[in-house]
Amino acid sequence: MKEVSAMPLAPETRADYARRTARALLQIGAVETAQDRPFILSSGIASPVYINVRRVISYPAIREMLMGFATEILDAEIGRDRIDAVAGAETAGIPFAAWIAALSGLPMQYVRKRAQGFGPAARIEGVSSPGQRVLLVEDLTTDGASKIRFCEALRQAGMEISDVLMLFHYDIFPATRTALAERGLRLHALANWRDILAATEEQQIFTPAERSRLAAFIEAPLDWSAAHGGSRHITF
């Protein structure tokens, strides 16, 4: 396998990937707006919007495009020669990890939410070994808490991890990047809610009221959540 070291993408290229990813997610109906009551996310946060990135697996052309973007970001921001294996997070991260591993020519593993078996690698499926440098792949992250737990499982198995790659990052909670950075982790994503908002404005997909709610949520997510029956705090 040819080694590929990190060479940063041009900012306009990165922005184009984000714009095209946001358009694609809207095109396949991955984004829903709340009607009578807000969505309550697994973190307890109330949200006026919900995104189901898992829908991507059913759209081959869009899947191919996004996996191409993800692989280019891997090469540009991480470096393929700095990764020994790609690990998918159970469950939604597994197919994306498999496609990225195939495009990159890298081995693949997946990390279970709960241990099955015995020993420090009881949550890891696939061939793994201490000292292996692993990239964690997921579909999305809201506050980053579950990504920290998956990375801790990899480290407990003796593997090295410093980067997490996903299709979508809420990117509205400043504490997320701080919490990950404190644990030696960097986050890489194709798009975020600001990209979705920009795409809805460009294509006039949502109503003005829906776009206004999304903008308010992006600006002050914890305040919006608390005002609509959700949590005001995120816990790592």
Give the pLDDT confidence score for residue 55 in this predicted structure: 98
What span, in angstroms and rounded, lies between the C-alpha atoms of 184 and 234?
A: 19
Tell whether 213 is covered by a domain: yes
pLDDT tens, the chain, 236 aa long: 445 556 789 999 999 999 999 999 999 999 999 998 999 999 999 999 999 999 999 999 999 999 999 999 999 999 999 999 999 999 999 999 999 999 999 999 999 988 887 777 889 999 999 999 999 999 999 999 999 999 999 999 999 999 999 999 999 999 999 999 999 999 999 999 999 999 999 999 999 999 999 999 999 999 999 999 999 999 88
Give the pLDDT confidence score for residue 44 in this predicted structure: 94
Distance of CA 103 to the CA centre of its chain: 18
H or E element at residue 21: helix 11-27
Q: Which domain holds residue 112?
A: 11-227
Tell whether 57 is covered by a domain: yes
Tell whether 236 is covered by a domain: no
Give the pLDDT confidence score for residue 1 in this predicted structure: 43
Tell whether 6 is covered by a domain: no
Domain count, the chain: 1
Give the pLDDT confidence score for residue 2 in this predicted structure: 46
Would residue 145 be called left, alpha or beta, if left means φ above 0 and alpha means ψ between -120 and 50 degrees?
alpha
Distance of CA 104 to the CA centre of its chain: 18
Tokens 């899947």: give the residue: 63
Give the pLDDT confidence score for residue 4 in this predicted structure: 54
- The Cα-based distances of 91 to 114, 136, 200, 205 in angstroms read 11, 12, 29, 30
Burial class (CB in 10 A: 0-12, 13-18, 19+), 126: middle
Tell whether 232 is covered by a domain: no
At 164, which CATH number? 3.40.50.2020
Give the pLDDT confidence score for residue 117 in this predicted structure: 79
Tell whether 111 is covered by a domain: yes
What span, in angstroms and rounded, lies between the C-alpha atoms of 56 and 11?
A: 25
Tell whether 190 is covered by a domain: yes
| Count of residues making up the chain | 236
Tell whether 2 is covered by a domain: no
Helix (H, G, I), strand (E, B) or coil at 105: coil
